[in-house]
């Protein structure tokens, strides 16, 4: 199970990345949408568990440990990702909806944990990781870029189609070998790049220029390192095999 999680969780992370808008669309009329994982309206937890992000933010051992505790409380309540691959689509959506609500509360704790400078950089990282497609679940960034309702609908449609593809790939991972899971991750990454290209065409030149400025210094998240340091004490990048 541990080996599966080491490989499958980064895959799930990509799946969530591609489907932020799809979840947001499904939550219409029920408050803020989007799974607060990567690049949406929240999502600090998933990022703060990544050693690469911890290093970028210059997090202390104490901050890393406390962030890990908050993260574990968030995902373990209601089952977290345990048995996720065996759930039906309806059960997965219900599980994710519950996790979404708990994550919103957790994000407030992360905000209090980090310094103002760390929070500012984390927001930039969220934009890098979430990409343009993540704007539909990031109300703050959408307002700053003056994303119109028509643009939001276009972005949602593109992201929903991509999200369906990645979820289909993820559902096919049951019983898959390590090599097959790695190939699925590559396909999901390729699908996300294609989605971002389509989403970019939705924005005006002015919006694209402003979005690039909002992201700050370039940051590329290595998905293979996702969840590499689950908030344990020690320096970022520890290999917890």
In a domain, 234, yes or no: no
Count of domains for the chain: 1
In a domain, 230, yes or no: no
Domain containing 91 equals 2-220
In a domain, 236, yes or no: no
In a domain, 232, yes or no: no
In a domain, 99, yes or no: yes
In a domain, 233, yes or no: no
In a domain, 231, yes or no: no
pLDDT tens, the chain, 241 aa long: 444 444 444 444 544 444 444 444 344 333 333 444 333 434 788 889 899 999 999 999 999 999 999 988 876 766 666 677 788 889 888 887 887 788 788 888 998 999 999 999 999 999 998 899 888 888 899 999 999 999 999 999 998 888 887 777 777 777 778 888 888 878 888 888 899 999 999 999 999 999 999 999 999 987 665 544 444 433 334 444 4
> 3-class secondary structure for the chain?
CHHHHHHHHHHHHHHHHHHHHHHHHHCCCCCCCCCCCCCCCCCHHHHHCCHHHHHHHCCCHHHHHHHHHHHHHHHHHHHCCCCHHHCCHHHHHHHHHHHHHHHHHHHHHHHHHCCHHHHHHHHHHHHHHHCHHHHHHCHHHHHHHCCCHHHHHHHHHHHHHHHHHHHHHHHCCCCCCHHHHHHHHHHHHHHHHHHHHHHHCCCCHHHHHHHHHHHCCCCCCCHHHCCCCCCCCCCCCCCCC
At 46 the pLDDT is 82
In a domain, 8, yes or no: yes
């Amino acid at each position: 199970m541990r080996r599966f999680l080491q490989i499958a969780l980064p895959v799930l992370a990509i799946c969530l990345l591609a489907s932020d808008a799809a979840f947001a669309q499904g939550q219409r009329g029920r408050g803020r949408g989007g799974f607060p994982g990567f690049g949406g309206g929240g999502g600090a937890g998933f990022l703060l568990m990544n050693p690469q992000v911890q290093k970028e933010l210059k997090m202390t051992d104490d901050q890393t440990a406390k962030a890990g505790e908050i993260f574990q409380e968030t995902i373990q309540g209601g089952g977290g990702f345990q048995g996720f691959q065996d759930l039906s689509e309806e059960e997965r959506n219900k599980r994710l909806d519950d996790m979404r609500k708990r994550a919103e509360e957790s994000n407030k704790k992360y905000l209090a944990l980090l310094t103002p400078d760390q929070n500012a950089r984390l927001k930039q990282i969220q934009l890098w990781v979430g990409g343009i497609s993540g704007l539909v679940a990031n109300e703050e960034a959408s307002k700053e870029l003056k994303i119109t309702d028509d643009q939001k609908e276009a972005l949602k449609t593109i992201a929903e189609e991509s999200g369906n593809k990645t979820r289909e790939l993820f559902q096919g991972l049951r019983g898959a070998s390590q090599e097959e899971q790695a190939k699925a991750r590559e396909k999901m990454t390729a699908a996300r790049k294609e989605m971002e290209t389509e989403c970019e065409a939705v924005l005006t030149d002015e919006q694209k220029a402003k979005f690039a400025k909002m992201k700050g210094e370039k940051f590329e998240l290595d998905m293979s390192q996702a969840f590499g340091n689950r908030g344990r004490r020690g320096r970022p990048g520890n290999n917890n095999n």
